[in-house]
Structure 1
Amino acid sequence: MERHDFYQSVEQQAALADEADARDATHAVLSALGERLDDTRSQRLDGELPSELGEQLAEGPSGRSLSYDEFLDRVETQTDRADTGDPEAVSQAVVGTLLEHVDEDEADDLRDRLEAFGYEATVPESGPGAGG
């Protein structure tokens, strides 16, 4: 998978204006998610993504205990290029695309972790990345 394909999927799912907005939204969500995930999990996901995307998961501190509202606040404050809309909808588009582009075991593991964190609203109910 190419990063352009990832961004295009996020752009379409979140109804963003262009790829630049999708790139900004993707960076914000992956960075915030990387703060919450432990290093091992971030590194495993990083290995399945184009380097620019994987690095966003692995940058900064990890394993922080962020509530779902704190996670959404991080996403909102990090999307500084343009108004990307509702941080929950943007998070769902990015997480759905991420789940579609990693292997099935990693996707299932990530869904379980997101549920354990109280982030289940980031997993789409239908479309790319929906649990099944």
Structure 2
Amino acid sequence: MPSKSTPKREPAPMSSPLGRIAVNVRRRRKAMGLTQAGLSELVPCHPTYVSQIERRTTNISVERLEGLAKVLGVDALTLMQPPKPLTDDIPADLAGLPSATDSEQMQGSKRGKSRRVQRT
């Protein structure tokens, strides 16, 4: 008999309340130097639950939201606010990618040329 598997839930849109919570939880967790497992120990909850929150694939109860907020040192309302744009931080999806300057230097070195910027 074939086993039944539950269909994967599509992530909530980033502009939704779950999307805002996901971004804010991840940023606060990383700013505190916590892993998902570390945060889950403090809340307490299962590490996969923290992962599901950050991936926007599960709903979160008000009680759990308040617990997360307390551990993260903010109030629950702060986690539901639209995230502020990143200024000094590199977004996680861009980490490890070369910057535009790096790309230009790599292209110049491939051609055997070095590009120097003359300052006036």
TM-score by shorter chain over 0.5 = no
Q: Tell me the TM-score normalized by structure 2.
A: 0.29
Larger radius of gyration: 2
More helix per residue: 1 or 2?
Answer: 1
Q: Tell me the TM-score normalized by structure 1.
A: 0.27
